A and B are shown apart, each in its own frame.
Chain A
Amino acid sequence: DAKTTQPTSMDCAEGRAANLPCNHSTISGNEYVYWYRQIHSQGPQYIIHGLKNNETNEMASLIITEDRKSSTLILPHATLRDTAVYYCIVSSLDYKLSFGAGTTVTVRA
């Protein structure tokens, strides 16, 4: 599996968009980019995933660069409930997902 690099922490103002970057320069052609988040005292929760096209669902948008070496998770209107650790994971279809240390996102009122 390709490794990912994320900032350790970031702050965001409530109501504003939160843009979470992730570098995965060694990603291979069959590897997907996944995002999960973990709210305190809970198990991780799936957010979104993509291969090369940008993706959007009810929770977030995922923007993957054309060379696929980096991506950005966008929370369009951050709320206090979005405060969590966000994990960016790169994995091929039939391979286990390995979580790193993630980015601690704090949404402030």
Chain B
Amino acid sequence: DVKVTQSSRYLVKRTGEKVFLECVQDMDHENMFWYRQDPGLGLRLIYFSYDVKMKEKGDIPEGYSVSREKKERFSLILESASTNQTSMYLCATRQGGRTNEKLFFGSGTQLSVL
């Protein structure tokens, strides 16, 4: 089974802090994604990466950046956290290629910015 591990289940940070959310996968998947989930809004794509060192903006990239130095790890960075970034953050992976778009999700990180 694919395992997608997010470093923290719950995180509390202060406004203005730099925040790192880590995601690690163990199945050598090429594609990795970061979403945020808010009540009534469903999941919204922040950034995604097709391969190592490659990244593309999703639907709501403002206030976020990402890093993918190794294939198994995809980091989401909040340079200066704000209260409107309080949310559930979900990482996902996908094999890549044209034949399989099945996403595997981590359990999520509930981030509170005070």
Identify the A interface with B (CB < 8 A).
32, 34, 36, 41-46, 49, 87, 91, 93-94, 96-102
**Residues in A neighbouring B90, C-beta threshold 8 A:** 43-44
Q: Of B11-19, B35-43, B69-77, B78-86, which binds chain A?
A: B35-43
**Residues in B neighbouring A101, C-beta threshold 8 A:** 40-42
CB pair B101–A91 under 8 Å, yes or no, is yes
Question: Chain A: interface secondary structure?
Answer: loop
Number of residues on chain B facing chain A (CB within 8 A): 23
Contact of A44 among B43, B48, B58, B59 (CB under 8 A): B43
Contact of B45 among A36, A43, A96 (CB under 8 A): A96
B98 to chain A, nearest CB (A): 5
Known pairs A41-B108, A97-B101, A98-B43 / 8 extra A-B pairs, C-beta < 8 Å:
A41-B107, A42-B105, A43-B92, A44-B90, A46-B103, A94-B98, A96-B45, A101-B40
A104 to chain B, nearest CB (A): 11
